[in-house]
Amino acid sequence: VNYVYFENSSSNPYLIRRIEELNKTANGNVEAKVVCFYRRRDISNSLIMLADKHAKEVEEESETTIEVDLTDKQKHQLKHRELFLSRQYESLPATHIRGKCSVALLNETESVLSYLEKEDTFFYSLVYDPSLKTLLADKGEIRVGPRYQADVPDMLAEGELDDREQAKLEVKVWDPDSPLTDRQIDQFLVVARAVGTFARALDCSSSVRQPSLHMSAAAASRDITLFHAMDTLHKHNYDLSSAISVLVPVGGPVLCRDEMEEWSASEASLFEEALEKYGKDFNDIRQDFLPWKSLTSIIEYYYMWKTTDRYVQQKRLKAAEAESKLKQVYIPTYNKPNPNQISSNNGKPAAVNGAMGASYQAQASLIGRACESCYTPQSHQWYSWGPPNMQCRLCASCWIYWKKYGGLKMPTQADEDKLSSSQPTEESHVRTHMSRQATQGTPVRNTGSPKSAVKTRQAFFLHTTCWTKLARQVCKNTLRLRQAARRPFVPINCAAIKAEYADRHCELAGNPLKIKSTRKPLSCIIGYLEIHPAVKPNVIRSTPSLQSPSAKRLLAPSNHSSLSILGKRNYSHHNGLDGM
């Protein structure tokens, strides 16, 4: 099985795919039909939590712990080796192959450190459905480990009684030390086959399915007939005359059919179609193609179908078809320069992320920055990483790690906060903001300085309605704005606020709140200004100095209410509301 890296973007990590077949197109290009694998970064956070929960349950059920004495760095890098299998197929150009890798089903008996010690090695334990966004355990898991071992009891001493419940033990169905010889047993089996052939000749449905005598005899020679004959012989204590009389009762000869005879031709065609699509995933075959059949019936039919000529013919056709297809293709070494590569010519940086011109100063700021992953200041080659406005870069080795494993070598600040216990530090607010950035997929800059530069977010303006302003005044006890602001994602109980406003509306009917007053006539305002002339405030100016703080304006107190920020009367003064 060939697991390979595919590159679909110069800045994103490689895609990990399993090649099913190679096809040559009409224009001479080679395309690969592949099975998709997904990384942790490709699925949602809720599914990642589900995968972590499944891994913890598996670890608790097994006697040996999976993660033994792993450092934070090893735990961080181990997440980059986990993949999720999918049933999704796609076709990709063979020219996009960038190398080979290895993917295996997670083995509980093997240490997880073995995946970190080997290059280009990954593991998976869950199956991801991209359309339904679900995770399921792989049904092809090999049951290896202490959980699947049988408990062998100690051997009983001579004369010791067996206190086990005999009903739970297996039932003896054949005695090899019977009084009959092998020749007598074979003769009885021949009689059973003859009775089965005669029974099929009498049955109308069997005569339609097996119109010839050879087909009826072949059907009567199947295992179901032999098992019934041997079981009958054992039940009658290996008495041939008694057993033969049971084979041909009063109603007619006994007819034994297995799944090969019970299934119709259309059901057999559906099974072969389902097997071509799903393989030996019998649960999906039953759910999508044969829901009226039991799982036991499907599995039994499969193993009987493998003994037929039909299976042998299909196997030969597939082998001939595989011979005509491409088995291997030569992929030359890909040595084209990456667009994210940062080069310097005469001390001037070249293009970063394909940007030139206006972003030249931003590119120049990359010179001298440390690697975002390993924090090394020196490398023979640098690559720009992340959004262009963040101006981050990776060294050559960390860039290869990012492309192969889809992450950084060293844990980020967000990963450290998850792994370590939360302790209050001087930069707790900075770390919280950086963790919020990391969860949204934005790379956090780390230039090696003690306090990392954090990019501020874009501000927004919230326009409230008149009813919201009214609720702030009337329903202060229920609304509790200060507590609601501390929990912005908790919804406010609008029904309770409406109920309180309806109750208080009757109380405030006699003394309503003055939300907005009507403007008085201009003559009243002029008369009020003549009686209360404006008082010019006395401003004390201080000479600024280097030692003294910045100069402040001191306003003289007024006889009336406070003035507005424009140094004029406020709205109440202009409308004559004061003292009226």
Between 117 and 445, the more confident residue is 117
Summarize pLDDT for 199-257 with one digit per residue, the tens: 888 777 666 666 677 777 777 778 888 888 999 999 999 999 889 888 888 878 888 88
Rounded distance between C-alpha atoms, residue 563 and residue 539, angstroms: 14
Phi-psi region of 238 (alpha: psi -120 to 50; beta: other; left: phi over 0): left
Count CA atoms closer than 13 A to 481's CA, side-chain side.
8
Between 561 and 246, the more confident residue is 246
Please say whether the beta carbons of 443 and 386 come within 8 A.
yes
Count CA atoms closer than 13 A to 73's CA, side-chain side.
5
Summarize pLDDT for 470-524 with one digit per residue, the tens: 777 778 777 777 888 887 777 777 778 878 877 777 666 555 555 455 567 777 8
SS (HEC) of 17-71: EEEEEEEECCCCCEEEEEEEEEEHHHCCHHHHHHHHHHHHHHHHHCCCCCCCCCC
Rounded distance between C-alpha atoms, residue 463 and residue 25, angstroms: 58
The percent of residues in the chain predicted with pLDDT above 70, rounded, is 71
Summarize pLDDT for 115-174 with one digit per residue, the tens: 888 999 999 989 999 988 888 876 555 566 676 778 888 888 888 888 887 777 788 888
Rounded distance between C-alpha atoms, residue 255 and residue 203, angstroms: 9
Sheet holding 392-395, edge to edge: 341-342, 382-385, 392-395
- Average pLDDT taken over every residue of the chain: 75
The listed range with the strongest mean pLDDT (169-173, 210-214, 267-271, 369-373) is 267-271
**Given this model, what pLDDT does residue 232 score?**
92
Identify the burial level of 385 via C-beta atoms within 10 angstroms of its C-beta, where 0-12 means exposed, 13-18 middle and 19 or more buried: buried
Summarize pLDDT for 53-92 with one digit per residue, the tens: 888 877 776 655 444 578 888 889 999 999 999 988 999 9
Range 87-107 average pLDDT: 89
Identify the burial level of 298 via C-beta atoms within 10 angstroms of its C-beta, where 0-12 means exposed, 13-18 middle and 19 or more buried: buried
127 bridge partner residues: 85, 136
Q: How far is CA 283 from the centre of its chain?
A: 22
Between 439 and 539, the more confident residue is 539
Rounded distance between C-alpha atoms, residue 104 and residue 83, angstroms: 10
Phi-psi region of 328 (alpha: psi -120 to 50; beta: other; left: phi over 0): beta
Between 253 and 567, the more confident residue is 253
Residues 6+ positions from 72 with CB-CB distance below 8 Å:
411, 415, 416, 419, 420
